[in-house]
Chains A and B, each alone.
Chain A
Amino acid sequence: MGQLVVNGLALGSIYALVALGLLLIFNTVQIVNFAQGQLLMLGAFIGISCAVTHELPMAAAWAVTMAAMALVGVVFMVLVYFPLRGRPAFLVILTTIAMGIVLENLALIIWGPLPVSLPSPVSGPPLRFAGVVVSMHQLFIFATLAVILFLQFVFLTKTRFGILMQATAQDLHTARLVGIPVKRTIAVAFALGTMLSGIAGLLVAPIFLAEPTMGGSLGLKGFVVSVIGGFGNLPGAVIGGLFLGLIETFGARYISSNFRDAYAFIVMITVLIVWPRGLFGEKSSEKV
């Protein structure tokens, strides 16, 4: 039982990280980026290229990956967001899905179809207590999620740029009228959101391996936990992620492993029926 809790929380933390990146962009420009999972995959492969292929020290590999992902985020904004500003939401959604497919096939061409492992940045024997095994990497995932959630909260509520970002999210046109550098604010949102996906990729690759198709399922789960938590709510996304990780793990153990993916959508539909705005929903959830 204890082992299931640990493994469920570790899995849920990954979902939560994907959701945090998704929401950072959504909260600024009201776009759901369905390529978030493929951006995670890209982060994993860039990390592998740095750490495994070019044998950079792990800290340098992480730094290069995060910088590269920030750049990818800005390029993504220029290619996907700007041309479609003001267009119907379904067009933007379709475009992000298409970008995900493009990224997947690009990865297949560049890195090939083989699954590849990335070493964990932390090492050491696993902790064992009462028959429960917790690996160092799982602890690192928990710690990273906590730190990112805290930093994101501080950034959005305590820094000038974070407050500008929130103002842009509330009303883009008014923000522009009052002199907020909207383009720069949106660019930072895309850069940070994509960077978070990259971090999720760096955390996932040591335990799940990296392969071009790895992002589809994780991206979708990130969306599901965002909906469960109440779209737009950061702590809600984290709680939703951890909740979904536990549901999946316990469902696979005690109900049936055949329907593991179905649990996510059953939970999402149930939550939407009972709480249409999600567990911690705000008004912005209506826009989903």
Chain B
Amino acid sequence: MTSTFFKASIVGATAVCLSVASTHPSRADAASCPSPIPLGLTTALTGNVALLGTQARSGVEFAVDEINAAGGINGKKLALTTEDTGSSSTDALNAMNRILEGKPLVIFGSMISPHVFAQTEVVTKSETPFMVGATNAKMTSQGSKWMFRIHVHDGQLADLIPEYLVKTLGKTKPGIIAVADDYGLGASRGIQASLAKLDANPVSVTSYAPSDKDMSAQLLEIKDKGADSVILFGRPADVTLVVKQMNDLGIKLTMIGNSSLVAQTTLNNLTAAEADGAYVIGGMIPQTSTDPKILDWAKRVQDKYKVPPDNFTVSYYDTVYLLKSIIEKTGCDKAAIRDALAATKDWKGMLISYQANALGDLAHTLGVYRNKGKTPELIGPIKESGF
């Protein structure tokens, strides 16, 4: 009897202890976090991709500042260290090595795919969660279980742009013009493959170097070969030039492209007539939101950084808050954070919900936009097949 009572007491006490532990995880895990909680960011702040890279900085830094102003995570402030990758992969790797010396809990990588490819191995070896915006379709197929992509990627665009062009807009003879770097050429190849599946092979496939300023020859080729539409893939600065030069040459074709066509920096340098009518499929942008809170956020970000926030800014901003929600639950164990990221399901960000797939891709919702004059209008969200 005594023995039975004793055993039951031990089992009961154990159960009580376990239940107490499981109902107060944050209190226990908060203690496991260093103060401040170190975070690292590598992105391009100088060089010819600084325009993009600064959007990552704006998104992460703005969220970190907000969280710290509100008291941090479980009372512990975030300490963000940022290193400039410049415009070369070698510099990106050096920047990452400097970041790793600070032993950050989580690292944010940039949206420049060659830079992130160069960094993946050292980050994976360090066993640190690595949140990136790099859009190369193969980025998350490298076998790193520590990498998570927070932005939509070129593979999704390569499927959805041709599908929308052919099935919704009814255009079957597109010309393709893309920036000749990893980003543009990777997308161009994907788009060609998708067009082939739709039996709408492009009449012309052209590209231009990132530093090119005159794209008239490529545009004339597209026109001369009888294209009924143009698929444009580039960065805001060069996309602006392509659109301007199309207009100067009097080429009037249905245009569809990536989110550079609705980027504020592009629209600022185009006239209403030049911008009008272009279709875009890409990451969701804050400018078309009707939610006053989001518009106010966009204004505050622009006031602070003098650059309008874009789809990348939103993704990086969301990611910091996603991370906050995870640390509040799991504490500061890197493996636990990684597992929680891999289990992300329907986490609601500013514009979209995030859900992890087996590769670590978290974003699966894109926006379809059309410029009305210089104002992008959201036609509707569109989801990657299977989500």
Question: Which residue numbers of A lie inside 8 Å of B, CB to CB?
Answer: 3-4, 7, 11, 105, 108, 112-117, 126, 128, 133, 135, 204, 207-209, 211-214, 216-218, 248-250, 252-253, 257-258, 260-261
Bound CA–CA A115/B307 (angstroms): 11
Residue on A with the closest CB to B305?
A112
A112 touches B214 (CB 8 A): no
A216 touches B218 (CB 8 A): no
| Shortest CB distance B175–A (Å) | 12
| Shortest CB distance A43–B (Å) | 16
Among B220, B237, B248, point to the contact of A115 (Cβ < 8 A).
B237
Query: Which residues of chain A come closer than 8 Å to B126, judged between CB atoms?
Result: none
Bound CA–CA A135/B216 (angstroms): 13
A257 touches B207 (CB 8 A): yes
In the complex where A113-B54, A133-B249 touch, is A208 in contact with B213 (Cβ < 8 A)? yes
Residue on B with the closest CB to A262?
B209
Residue on A with the closest CB to B53?
A113
B237 touches A3 (CB 8 A): no
Bound CA–CA A248/B211 (angstroms): 14
| Shortest CB distance B56–A (Å) | 13
B269 touches A4 (CB 8 A): no
B46 touches A252 (CB 8 A): no
Chain B CB within 10 Å, residue with most, of A213, A218, A261: A213
A114 touches B220 (CB 8 A): no
| Shortest CB distance A104–B (Å) | 8
B54 touches A260 (CB 8 A): no
A253 touches B46 (CB 8 A): no
Q: Which 9 A-B pairs have the closest CB atoms?
A: A252-B217, A253-B217, A208-B213, A217-B211, A113-B51, A113-B50, A115-B237, A7-B216, A213-B48
B217 touches A209 (CB 8 A): no
In the complex where A133-B250, A252-B217 touch, is A115 in contact with B211 (Cβ < 8 A)? no
B211 touches A261 (CB 8 A): yes
Bound CA–CA A113/B237 (angstroms): 10
Among B180, B221, B241, point to the contact of A208 (Cβ < 8 A).
B241
Among B50, B180, B236, B249, point to the contact of A3 (Cβ < 8 A).
B249
B212 touches A3 (CB 8 A): no
Residue on A with the closest CB to B209?
A261
Query: Which residues of chain B come closer than 8 Å to A249, judged between CB atoms?
Result: 214, 216-217
In the complex where A126-B248, A257-B208 touch, is A117 in contact with B269 (Cβ < 8 A)? yes
Among A7, A108, A212, A258, point to the contact of B214 (Cβ < 8 A).
A7
B236 touches A260 (CB 8 A): no
B217 touches A258 (CB 8 A): no
Query: Which residues of chain B come closer than 8 Å to A117, judged between CB atoms?
Result: 268-269
Contact with A along B35-51 (1 / 0, CB 8 A): 00000000000111011
Query: Which residues of chain B come closer than 8 Å to A211, judged between CB atoms?
Result: 51, 237
Among A116, A135, A253, point to the contact of B248 (Cβ < 8 A).
A135
Chain B CB within 10 Å, residue with most, of A116, A133, A209, A218: A209
